[in-house]
């Protein structure tokens, strides 16, 4: 494949853009419009319709809800208001669901490369969170405005995270299995089918792949309504998007999404440390080693991206 000399530097990790890359698909509507419908339709359906149903069933005090029923309702909301719209939108707007969602079984080499990537990236992003929160705390001590904003964010973050942590507290082994399914398996299939499947694929037909993946990743981060983890979530979404475009299959981002959530849940089960789920504290942070680790992991991550690009370049030439 020829290199596009007009590509901006920040797009170097994504393969060459092919205008109107629809692979023989004849969309019923403009793919950009389809992607926007997916973004706002999925958000409204899940956050508002799904949220309203939860409130109707459990009331405003979700902490008093029966844990297993709450978990099952959460999984059902993801399936009904994220996965189902992704499949229906694909069928309505593109007819061929398989070509839009991009279903292909990846090789073990592909899986191995991206699994190494998610391991490096999650460690990198954890260090980023420590640095980010340290800087925010420092600014809040010297700026009344930042302190006020941070206090509001802290209150909102605590509300969201307390509810999420309650979802993760098991009483027995059966609870653990259910939690893994609800927190790791279901979101991986549902969210990736909508974001990296329908939405990003729609944008790719009219945009350069970097921008298609970035826009999708930004909304993926906003969709989780987690103010302190917004940048890490966008980075994760961008990596998932890179995996989807490079491999031309939704299976890889599903695997990566599952592993990211599964690792957090297992660590929480093992150590019972809220920082593995919640916004990490910075009271005892040693800043210099954390920055050094962040820089080192960033270099390692981009070296891996280089090898992944080389791997797919060789496959296309073969």
Mean pLDDT by 10 residues, the chain (318 residues): 43 46 74 94 82 72 74 90 94 90 93 97 95 91 89 81 74 90 96 96 94 96 90 97 96 97 89 58 75 96 96 86
- Residue 62, pLDDT score: 64
Please give the model's pTM, rounded to 2 decimal places.
0.88
Give the pLDDT confidence score for residue 306 in this predicted structure.
Answer: 96
Distance CA 288, CA 183 (A): 34
pLDDT at 20: 47
Instruction: Using the structure block, give the residue that is written with the tokens 């399914």.
Output: 181
Helix, strand, coil % in the chain, rounded to nearest 5: 80, 0, 20
Rounded distance, CA 183 to CA 168, Å? 8
* Residue 153 contacts residue 228 (beta carbons within 8 Å): yes
Count CB-CB contacts under 10 A for residue 81: 23
Per the prediction, the chain carries an average pLDDT of 85
Q: Are 264 and 277 in contact (CB under 8 A)?
A: yes
Q: What are phi and psi of 162, to 5 degrees?
A: -60, -40
Distance, in Å, from the CA atom of 269 to the CA atom of 279, rounded to the nearest integer, reads 17
Sign of CA dihedral 271, 276, 279, 280: positive
Rounded to the nearest 5°, which phi and psi values hold at 143? -125, 115
């Amino acid at each position: 494949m020829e290199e596009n000399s007009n590509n901006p530097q920040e797009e170097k990790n994504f393969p060459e853009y092919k205008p109107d890359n629809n692979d023989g698909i004849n969309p019923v509507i403009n793919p950009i419009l389809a992607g926007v419908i997916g973004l706002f339709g999925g958000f409204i359906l899940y956050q508002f319709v799904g949220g309203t149903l939860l409130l109707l069933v459990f009331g405003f005090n979700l902490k008093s809800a029966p844990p297993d029923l709450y978990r099952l309702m959460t999984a059902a909301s993801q399936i009904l208001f994220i996965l189902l719209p992704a499949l229906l939108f694909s069928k309505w707007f593109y007819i061929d669901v398989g070509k839009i969602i991009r279903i292909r079984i990846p090789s073990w080499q592909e899986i191995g490369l991206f699994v190494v990537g998610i391991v490096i990236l999650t460690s990198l992003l954890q260090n980023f969170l420590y640095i980010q929160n340290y800087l925010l705390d420092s600014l809040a001590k010297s700026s009344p405005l930042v302190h006020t904003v941070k206090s509001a964010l802290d209150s909102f973050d605590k509300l969201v995270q307390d509810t999420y942590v309650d979802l993760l507290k098991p009483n027995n082994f059966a609870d653990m299995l259910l939690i893994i399914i609800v927190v790791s398996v279901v979101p991986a299939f549902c969210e990736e089918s909508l974001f990296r499947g329908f939405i990003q694929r729609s944008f790719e037909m009219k945009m350069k792949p970097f921008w298609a993946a970035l826009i999708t990743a930004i909304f993926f981060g906003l969709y989780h309504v987690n103010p302190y983890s917004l940048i890490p979530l966008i980075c994760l979404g961008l990596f998932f998007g890179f995996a989807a475009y490079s491999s031309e299959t939704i299976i890889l981002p599903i695997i990566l999404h599952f592993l990211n959530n599964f690792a957090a849940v297992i660590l929480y089960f093992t150590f019972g440390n809220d920082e593995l789920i919640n916004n990490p504290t910075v009271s005892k942070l040693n800043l210099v080693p954390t920055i050094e680790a962040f820089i080192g992991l960033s270099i390692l991550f981009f070296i891996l991206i280089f090898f992944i690009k080389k791997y797919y370049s060789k496959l296309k030439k073969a």
